[in-house]
Chains A and B, each alone.
Chain A
Amino acid sequence: MIRVIMVETGTANLASMRAALQRAGAEVGVARDAAEVERAPAVVLPGVGTFGAAMRTLRTRGFDRAIAARIAADRPTLAVCVGLQVLAEASDEGGGEGGDPIGDARSNVAGRTVRSSGAEDAAPGLGIIPGRVRRFGSSAAVRVPQMGWNRIVPGRSGGRVSAGDAYFANSYALDPEPAERAGWTVARGEYGAPFAAAIERGSVLGCQFHPELSGAYGASILESWVRGVEQC
């Protein structure tokens, strides 16, 4: 049985991801140290919480370099929601305080309090996927956070992520184009504007949606990812 290691970011509940991975046929553990994060046959970076808080935890425990190294080596890695966002170059979600910019007024980046002038200010991510994480522009039709099921249009070069409805809970998302130009396969969603719903390359799969909460659609993606690990 494939053993999948989950990376705890301290803010996330892991119960839903754990249950879904078990249903997909995997045995699930929690990462103990950076060496395990770098070397384990399969790692999940689950995504609940905020960009700043997730980055702080990854840096504190040395997981940032471990994740970069395992992705560079194309080891099976699944990153979900904020877990995908931290792979980007930077995020408008500067702070670790709440799921949204604190009125674009105050933010807290990697432990230091900074004055933010709004979207100009960005918190750095791991820089593995090119592009920046941006906030959805809210309006009457585009309520933020995006909360619910949205349509996914697969990337032109195929990939594991097929067309279907998946569950999202996010205020921020990656631009699709920079990742696509860099050779990643990008599935798109639309919420006021197009955004990256899933980004994949080789054994690395990043989902802005929550496959663990996306019914049979999400389950089939998790099963396909776990099967891919078995073949590695």
Chain B
Amino acid sequence: MLKRRIIPCLDVRDGRTVKGVQFKGLVDAGDPVDLAARYAADGADELCVLDVSATLEARRTTLDVVARIRAVIDIPLTVGGGVRKTVDAARLLEAGADKVAVNSAALDDPSLLVRLADRFGRQCVVLSVDAARAGPRVGDGWIVVTHAGTRRRGVDAIAWCRAGTRTVPRAGAGEILLTSVDRDGVGRGYDLDLLAAVAQVTDVPIIASGGGGSAADMQAAFAVGASAALAAGMFHRQESTIPGVRRALAAHGVPVREPVETPPGAPIHPPVDRPTQVASAASAATAASSTVSTSAGSGPTSTRRAIPSRPDSESIQ
């Protein structure tokens, strides 16, 4: 059975990890290479790096960050931000990305998705959709927004998810990164109505994003059809650890990966190429997280949240 994925996300700007609320008020959250190494060592199923830099020069910095992350992780890496042409995707892949996420450029020119799938394979192309509720009721639907949530595109988000991932007449994206702008950074849980609506119109895997603050939030997203749950702040702020979230999910019957422990006497993995300071940061983080997680059990991953648990969190606590 395919396991549900836990995906830490690093928003990177000018070579640093940043985190905001509803795409605004960015604060520094550390060195992305250190964080990536720590999350990979902690058992993240995949990593996502989104370049939120504003300038072309800063984007070149991101290529360097991607290359340095690739050297220290052995899990899949999705990179998005600023992909407007096939050559942009090619540069990210050459630097060490395994998948590229495309957002506003695909809206401007939907054939970009097909061109990327033609060249790199559909499994390499992630359609990144930032969706905002069009009104207070579920029936009002969602519209696509771009440019850090500032620009409303007048496009129905559900229809766009369907169109961008279809295989007829030609294949488009092979995965959707679906972010609720309303929930981003708020920690009130994913927009489950949005996830459920998109799950009905596409066969490709969906990564839930925006609002994830606990294992309970992730479980709820999986229950409505998400294949993966992306989270940033809850991990950056160390409110939760990946092993703690994984244990909580497993305890509630969610299929999750069993990371392999390096057997005693086996060569240290990875044996070469990891800069010393990264290795020590990763092992320190591993030690710290195992200390936390021994006392974590199935619940406390979310008890330190500033925002009280919602009723649907009860199922996991």
Contacts and interface: CB of A to CB of B under 8 A. Distances in A.
Interface of A: 11, 13, 15-16, 19-20, 22-23, 25, 48-50, 82, 96-103, 105-106, 138-140, 143-151, 164-165, 167-171, 190-191, 210, 212-220, 223
B45 to A, nearest CB: 6
B3 A149 contact: yes
B169 A19 contact: no
A100 B203 CA distance: 12
A213 B76 contact: yes
A148 to B, nearest CB: 5
A51 to B, nearest CB: 9
24 contacts: A13-B93, A15-B93, A19-B70, A19-B273, A22-B272, A22-B273, A23-B74, A98-B167, A99-B124, A99-B171, A102-B168, A103-B167, A105-B168, A145-B123, A147-B175, A148-B46, A149-B2, A150-B1, A164-B258, A213-B76, A214-B74, A215-B74, A215-B259, A216-B74
B118 A13 contact: no
A154 to B, nearest CB: 14
Nearest to B172: A98
B264 interface: no
B174 A145 contact: yes
Contact of A171 (B2, B97, B123, B269): B123
A101 B169 CA distance: 9
A145 B202 CA distance: 11
B271 interface: yes
Query: Which secondary structure characterizes the binding site on chain B?
Result: loop
A216 B1 contact: no
Contacts of B3: 148-150, 165
B122 A11 contact: no
B204 interface: yes
Contacts of B77: 16
Nearest to B96: A15
Given A23-B271, A212-B74, A220-B269, 20 more contacts: A13-B94, A16-B70, A22-B273, A49-B119, A98-B170, A98-B171, A99-B174, A100-B174, A148-B3, A148-B228, A167-B45, A167-B46, A169-B124, A170-B123, A210-B76, A213-B74, A214-B75, A215-B75, A216-B260, A216-B269
B133 interface: no
A147 B45 CA distance: 11
A99 B95 CA distance: 22
B121 A11 contact: yes
B117 interface: yes
B98 to A, nearest CB: 6
B71 interface: yes
Contacts of A50: 121
A38 to B, nearest CB: 26
B269 A145 contact: no
Given A145-B174, A145-B204, A167-B76, A23 B270 contact: yes
Contacts of A103: 167-170
User: Which of A13, A82, A169 has the most C-beta atoms of chain B within 10 angstroms of its own C-beta?
Assistant: A13
Interface string B196-219: 000100011110000000000000
Contacts of B43: 215
Interface string B227-263: 1100000000000000000000000000001111110
A13 B169 CA distance: 26
B1 A145 contact: no
Contacts of B258: 164-165
Given A13-B93, A170-B123, A215-B259, A100 B171 contact: yes
B203 A148 contact: no
Contacts of B267: 223
Contacts of A100: 122, 167, 171, 174
B195 to A, nearest CB: 13
A190 B266 CA distance: 30
In the A-B complex, the 7 residue pairs with the smallest Cβ-Cβ separation, listed nearest first, are A99-B122, A98-B171, A103-B168, A13-B93, A23-B270, A98-B117, A99-B121
Nearest to B259: A215
Contact of A216 (B45, B205, B259): B259
Contact of B45 (A13, A97, A105, A148): A148
A171 B75 contact: no
Contacts of B67: 15
Contact of B119 (A11, A20, A146): A11
A102 B2 contact: no
B141 to A, nearest CB: 22
A143 B96 contact: no
